[in-house]
A and B are shown apart, each in its own frame.
Chain A
Amino acid sequence: GQNIDQPTEMTATEGAIVQINCTYQTSGFNGLFWYQQHAGEAPTFLSYNVLDGLEEKGRFSSFLSRSKGYSYLLLKELQMKDSASYLCAVLDSNYQLIWGAGTKLIIKP
């Protein structure tokens, strides 16, 4: 079967750094997405990785290791507005997006 694992919830302090991990087992791999979803709102795109390595975009970075079936989202200089759920999703061999359950990130002052 296809499976994506993320921690259910994480807590971090404003101004700090947090790393949200995602491991996956899917039928093929055609890329991995990270989305952010604030409570009561629709998901919005953060990043896309298809090759191994780190992609940096401002305060957010995303890393991929295809051989390990592993990705992480790194958030630096945390702000209160970063409190949200972060969804990991993998594009499988049929180009269907398989979604993780999401990680709820709580930022404390």
Chain B
Amino acid sequence: GAGVSQSPSNKVTEKGKDVELRCDPISGHTALYWYRQSLGQGLEFLIYFQGNSAPDKSGLPSDRFSAERTGGSVSTLTIQRTQQEDSAVYLCASSLEPGGPYEQYFGPGTRLTVT
């Protein structure tokens, strides 16, 4: 079946604008994760969803970041009033259930550039 998809693949925005990133997980996967990866760096956990609820929002860098998931499927990550330090690749992953031994399947990512 289809893997995890993300859109857009690339987004260039001006500082101060809002952006919305979309993730379509693998069908039937209850857990969905958002990560951020800066160039040459490791993965920074942002938030995860179990169904439509987010038990752990501790990774969101500031209140400019928010995320939602509807219908236990599609998720959107919204960044308000973008700053240059928000520039990174935003990766979405899904797994059958949260935790082990369920591997996370990653989407191709959205490269965000804030000018």
**B-binding residues in A (CB < 8 A):** 30-31, 33, 41-45, 48, 50, 87, 89, 91, 94-102
Which of B42, B91, B103, B108 is close to A48, meaning CB atoms less than 8 Å apart? B103
CB pair A45 B100 closer than 8 Å: no
| Contact in complex: A91, B99 (CB < 8 Å) | yes
A-B pairs, 5 with minimum CB distance: A95-B99, A31-B100, A42-B106, A101-B42, A45-B103
Partner of A91, one of B42, B44, B100: B100
> Helix, strand, loop or mixed for chain B's interface?
loop
Q: How far apart sit A30 and B43, CA to CA, in the bound complex (Å)?
A: 19
CB of B101 closer than 8 Å to a CB of A: yes
Known contacts A42-B106, A101-B42, A102-B42; is-contact A50 B100 (Cβ 8 Å): yes
B62 at the interface (CB under 8 A from A): no
Contact in complex: A87, B43 (CB < 8 Å): yes
Q: Report the count of interface residues on B (CB-CB < 8 A).
A: 21
| Chain B contacts to A: CB under 8 angstroms | 33, 35, 41-45, 48, 56, 91, 98-101, 103-109
Most chain A Cβ neighbours within 10 Å, of B33, B42, B44, B108: B42
